[in-house]
Structure 1
Amino acid sequence: MTTRTRFTVGELIHHTKFDYRGVIVDVDPVYAGSDEWYETVAKSRPPKDQPWYHVLVDGYSHSTYVAERHLEPDTRGEQIEHPALGQFFDRFMNGRYSRHGEPGAH
């Protein structure tokens, strides 16, 4: 069974519970973290059999691992600020980031 993901790499998101913006840098079709992390950090117990996303957080230097149910599209269309952006993306265009090697990326 293939799990459909709502978001893709390079897409800007808004975290509905903690009110931050970010950009998706990787997608896990199901939870791929440790049981210890889930028990300690995932207090609302989001489903493990749904997509989870690795997100660079706007205005900070850390990333987060977030269940799909806590995300919505970010409609501002503005770039984020994060020191690791260049490790994942080459450019920002039409409200999203392009990955190294994607068609049209520099």
Structure 2
Amino acid sequence: MKTRTAKFQIGQIVRHRVFAFRGVIFDIDPEFNNTEEWWLSIPEEVRPHKDQPFYHLLAENSESEYIAYVSEQNLLPDNSGEPVRHSQVSEIFIKDKSGGYRQRNPSLN
């Protein structure tokens, strides 16, 4: 299995291609690294391939904040310029001048 280079980076704000949520990336798996049960719980017609980067997001929608695990094929850059309101963002990141985030302690990753 060929490992692909991640399209997005830690600290980047992204949005889901289909569902109405967005978030900031705080970790990246070079390929699927979750349980088989989790993967099988996704309807087959929209189930992502495992051989691509998967991203851990501090995510938010209009109703809540949560942690999301999303395949690269389902993410798009978020160019809204709006900050992510997730309560854990300030624990991990500092807002940078480009509108994204940079890690408070880059040696943790």
Gaps of 5+ in 2: none
After superposition, give the CA deviation of every residue in 1:61-100 in whole Å (9 maximum; x if it has no partner): 3111001111000011221101111221123431100101
Cα offset, 1:3, TM superposition:
1.5
Quick check: 1:57 aligned with 2:79?
no
SS in 2 for 1:86: helix
Cα distance in 2 for partners of 1:61, 1:19 equals: 12
For residue 66 of structure 1, the aligned residue among 58, 70, 88 is 70
- List aligned pairs for 1:22-41, cutoff 5 A: 22-40=23-41
What code does the residue aligned with 1:68 have? E
Change in Cα spacing, 1:79 to 1:92, as seen in structure 2 (3 Å) is farther
How many residue pairs align between the two structures? 101
- The residue correspondences of 1:92-103 to structure 2 (distance < 5 A) are 92-102=96-106
Conservation of the 8 A alpha-carbon contact between 1:9 and 1:27: yes
